[in-house]
Amino acid sequence: MLPASSMRSPARFRPGPPLRPRQRVLFLWAGALFVAGDAIFWLMFAAVLSSSGLATLDGTVHTLVVDSRSPLVNGFLAAVSGLTSPTVTSIAAGVIAVVWAVWKRELWRPAVLLGAMVVSVVLATVVKLEVTRSRPPSTDFLLGPDDALSFPSGHTLGASVLAFVLAYLLCSRSGTRTTAVLAYGAAAVLTLLVAYSRLYLGYHWLTDVVASLGVALGVLGLAVFVDAARNGRGG
């Protein structure tokens, strides 16, 4: 029989490293993100339903972007759109969460990431069914037919939520201010690139992608609030 000192205890999940910013600061950021995202979404929602505001530019922007196509850009943005489809981003989030949980022996942050993705998918589905907006003319679709509803853009929403929530979960525990700036900057560039790809490929109106950015900010604010409420330091 092996001595007790030589017996290994089973690996257990850890709570994860503590948050660096204090709870009050995170709550303020969460509230600001949620309010900003909410305002952007409802402005786009009202504009689409009333055909006013930014919605009056949808046709003009669509024509300008479609007319600017070139073979080289076509292939690049088609790849960007294919790699950031709602299905791909959902699978990517699941893989990241599983690898994170197994490697770091931590459940909370992977759960927050998955929760944010689930919320974004549900919101996109509900809003699409509520608004029932048609896509731009199918003759402008660069990658073949797509009969799904247009408002909001699922590609833009999924990619931005994955990128920004992941950046928050990583930078709120470790790294320098420079690292945070680079992480959030990369998330912003990815989001704008995906949004533009959906306009360029002809599948969405301008207000579709702007509304998705609003929803993404709201989901990010919710993720920050939930994380801070559980792990934030007082003061």
Positive or negative torsion for Cα 94, 106, 19, 173: negative
Contact 68, 140 (CB under 8 A): no
Query: Mean pLDDT, consecutive 10-residue segments, the chain of 235 residues?
Result: 46 68 88 97 96 96 95 95 95 96 91 97 95 94 90 96 96 84 96 97 97 98 93 62
Give the pLDDT confidence score for residue 11 in this predicted structure. 52
C-alpha 221: how far from its chain's center?
A: 11
Give the pLDDT confidence score for residue 6 in this predicted structure. 43
Contacts of 217 (CB under 8 A, 6+ apart): 33, 34, 36, 37, 40
> Tokens at residue 189, please?
């560039």
Give the pLDDT confidence score for residue 2 in this predicted structure. 47
Report the candidate in 48, 43, 42, 34 with the shortest Cα–Cα distance to residue 149.
Answer: 48
Contacts of 148 (CB under 8 A, 6+ apart): 128, 135, 154
Give the pLDDT confidence score for residue 61 in this predicted structure. 97
